[in-house]
Structure 1
Amino acid sequence: MADRTAIDTIKGYFYQFDYAIAKLLELQTDTDTIIVEGIEDVDINTATEEIAVQCKYYAKTEYNHSVIAKPIRLMLDHYKEVTNGTKKRINYKLYGYFQSGQTKLTLPINSTFLKDHFLTYSEKKVKYYHHTKHSLTDTQLDDFITLLDINISALEYQSQVSKISNLLMTQFGCNSFEAENFFYNNALKVIKDIAIESNIAKRKISKSEFLTKINFKRVLFNEWFVTYKGQSKLFAELRGQYFTGLNISPYERLFIIEIPNTNYVRAELKDLILTISRKWSKLSAREPHTFCPYIYLHNILPQELLELKKELFSEGFLFIDGFDFDGSDFNPKSISKQANSSNSIKIKILNKIEHIDLTIGEISKTREIYQFYNTNPFFDISYPNVKQAQIQFSKLTDINKII
């Protein structure tokens, strides 16, 4: 029960964040803004209006007036300050999804309905009248109602996600995979990060700032996105997008992998290297075009790289690293020579990051670069004719599940 409650709570946060993302994408001008966790869950500011939105997701709850009564009373608290001249006049919106019961509410409401069903309540057998507490007249309550928009037939959770995906595809001219795994993933992180800021000024973001922050194509291992997607499903989709094919094309593939600063295990890295070699090599004499992958290990200590090479060599795993003899300089022609059944080269190891550019420049075949980073991308050279992917990971073993 506790686990289901926690999942429902997390889904409620996602729904609120998704609503904020959708509203940002729908803003008419780049200077329009929203505030996350402002007066309400999402405050929308445009040139023509300011609206505070209370956003609720009750997937397992039947609608009853009491469920939305407290949020409406909180809105009335703000309205009271407006009548006192201490707060700016704004619009209010209650946006909620319910499993059922929407027919219980007939809109529009009047002041009598407002008082009877939303402003009158009991606690510990004591009845309270919220309008009386604020000394608000029926005329003022009617005015409040003109500012209040109640929508209890909001989009269902997945429908809202689909709406966001369509908005992102329109905004960036991308496909559905890119919309979800790049731009939506980025958007979730941006909204989550500003939502936890203590300073309300830092919880404000304009449409143009938002679009700039999410406009990059790399897969983030964002814990919120992984929670939404599910780790197994995320890995499967990445594998399907980048690393699945009935016939592997004879391309020159470079795997650039950041070695985590913590929890590094040589056996895991060695297993990953063997997996990359096995899946992305074709050395049979029957193959018309033989090939094997390149690998660069970022942040690995020189001595550890040496020990790793010794282990691979001692186990009969043949590789080259672009050094023709002891004391020689790195030779991109040497490392880019074709692997085949005769020389049995199973992988090509690049020792330094600067060797990547030299090697890419030497290769004339179709090239692909897959960068797996643990914290931030570290190789940022862009090649116009080279397919490049940037994928964030948490553990080295995650990469095995993707490729």
Structure 2
Amino acid sequence: MGRSADYTIQGFLYQFNQTLSELLKAADDATITIEGIVEDIEVATFAGIKAIQCKYHETQNNYTPSILYDPLLQMMKHFKSNPGAKIQYHLFAHFPNNPAVNISSNELKRALNSKNKELKDLIAEVDGVDIDGFLKVFAVSVTPKYSDLMEENSKQIEALGFNKGEVETLFYPNAIQIIADLSIKHDEKLRKITKKDFLEILRRIRSTAVSQWTLALKTRYKILETRRKQLKENLNANVRLRHLVIFPKFLEQFDDQIVLFIKSFIDKYHFKVSHTHTPLFSLDAPQELFDEIAERLIGKDVTPNLGRPVKTFSEANFFREPMIQKDKKEFALRFIRWDDYKKLALKTKADDFFVIGDGDIENLDFKDVNLEILGAEKFDEIKYMMGISNAY
């Protein structure tokens, strides 16, 4: 499929919003199956069982099939390159006045014979594709205006008894996140949910989901601002044991920002003598990179406790309290690789456990722990939500 992951994210958000609309209008006991997605087809992060493209035109005066040649060729290229992959291809298209959009073998042949110079290389790569085979796994949907669909869903949520003032920044983004979380499950049985169960889950949530999905919504700024307010009370407390796990995979400028982020956190939340609980940072990184970052922290006068004087890890050494000399602590943080953290037999659980980035935490025990998931991709936004900076 190539191109930008933004198109894919937008396509899935259409899908999630349409699923949400279906859920909200269903009978309480009606079971809705969330259409699944799986990671890593060809686009940066997403794709899978249903490979989606989105062609959205609010200002296009007239619809012509040629407008869709590029995404159609992208999909046919992927289909040709992945024979037997059992992938369904879906094109969401929006144009003013919602014209009928029918894609036949004749339209696909016209796309392959297009004289558009910008499509020349793509057409060459698609040459010889099985058009009839592609049409069997292809579908196109004409969608309503995206903002209209969002507004309709928000009003439906409000009509179901949810607080109007919290719909935009709490219930609507969390509704999208619930659907997104279900969509990544491989087993179709686990992607089924009733309207009644969906609404019960939604009513129990009191913190705004922050992820690649919710931050792609048009309410991005309001979501960040709301999440900042939600985190403020616990972060401002002097005596809180905080564990932070950082997953670098999708974090932008990770290598440039990680040391600055850790130092900024320490400077903000662990600089007083009254800050008696040493924060723990766990990094999902190979040993060589982890050691390099530890050295760079020392270079910034932020001394980490690695739990090993030289090579051998000692849990007793790792969890001892720092010596304090003239108001200066021996070490400012505990620093451990994620693979090693998961093996620890924690005698004391964290008060707050922050997940930064996108990673698997399913096997950890979070009973009696305040779990905060910040799935943003930019450190500036993470620092803003955590009150470390006032801008992003």
TM-score, length basis structure 2: 0.51
Alignment match, 1:199: none
Q: In structure 2, do the counterparts of structure 1 residues 214 and 382 end up closer, same or farther at CA, with 3 Å as the change threshold? A: farther
Q: In structure 2, do the counterparts of structure 1 residues 206 and 256 end up closer, same or farther at CA, with 3 Å as the change threshold? A: closer
Alignment match, 1:310: 295
Match of residue 377, structure 1, among 360, 363, 369: 360
Q: Distance in 2 between matches of 1:187 and 1:291?
A: 37
Matched, 1:257 2:246: yes
Matched, 1:219 2:218: no
Deviations 1:19-75 (A, max 9, x none): 652441342253455899xxxxxxxxxxxxxxxxxxxxxx99xxxxxxxxxxxxxxx
Matched, 1:180 2:172: yes
Percent identity of equivalent pairs: 13
Q: Distance in 2 between matches of 1:26 and 1:328?
A: 59
Higher Rg: 1
Alignment match, 2:259: 270
Match of residue 295, structure 1, among 269, 281, 305: 281
Deviations 1:198-250 (A, max 9, x none): xxxx9xx8653995799597835234x33434433332222222245684241
Alignment match, 2:369: 386
Counterpart AA for 2:377: S
Contact kept, 8 Å, 2:251 with 2:379, in 1: the verdict is no
Instruction: Quote how far apart the aligned CAs of 1:165 are.
Output: 3.9
Q: Distance in 1 between matches of 2:323 and 2:170?
A: 34
Contact kept, 8 Å, 2:304 with 2:333, in 1: the verdict is yes
Q: Secondary structure at the match of 1:241?
A: helix
Q: Distance in 2 between matches of 1:297 and 1:35?
A: 33
Match of residue 227, structure 2, among 238, 254, 258: 238
Deviations 1:370-395 (A, max 9, x none): 11233x43453122211112232224
Contact kept, 8 Å, 1:30 with 1:207, in 2: the verdict is no
Alignment match, 1:39: none
Contact kept, 8 Å, 1:183 with 1:215, in 2: the verdict is no
Q: Distance in 2 between matches of 1:398 and 1:348?
A: 24
TM-score, length basis structure 1: 0.50
Structure 2 unmatched ranges of 5 or more: 1-8, 36-57, 60-146, 387-392
Alignment match, 2:331: 345
Structure 1 unmatched ranges of 5 or more: 1-9, 37-58, 61-154, 194-201
Matched, 1:283 2:251: no
Aligned pairs (5 A) from 1:1-400: 18=17, 20-32=19-31, 160-166=152-158, 178-187=170-179, 207-208=193-194, 219=209, 221-223=211-213, 225-243=214-232, 247-260=236-249, 264-284=253-273, 287=274, 290-298=276-284, 300-323=285-308, 325-332=309-316, 334-337=318-321, 341-356=327-342, 358=344, 360-362=346-348, 367-374=351-358, 376-378=359-361, 380-400=363-383
Q: In structure 2, do the counterparts of structure 1 residues 357 and 401 end up closer, same or farther at CA, with 3 Å as the change threshold? A: farther
Counterpart AA for 2:171: A
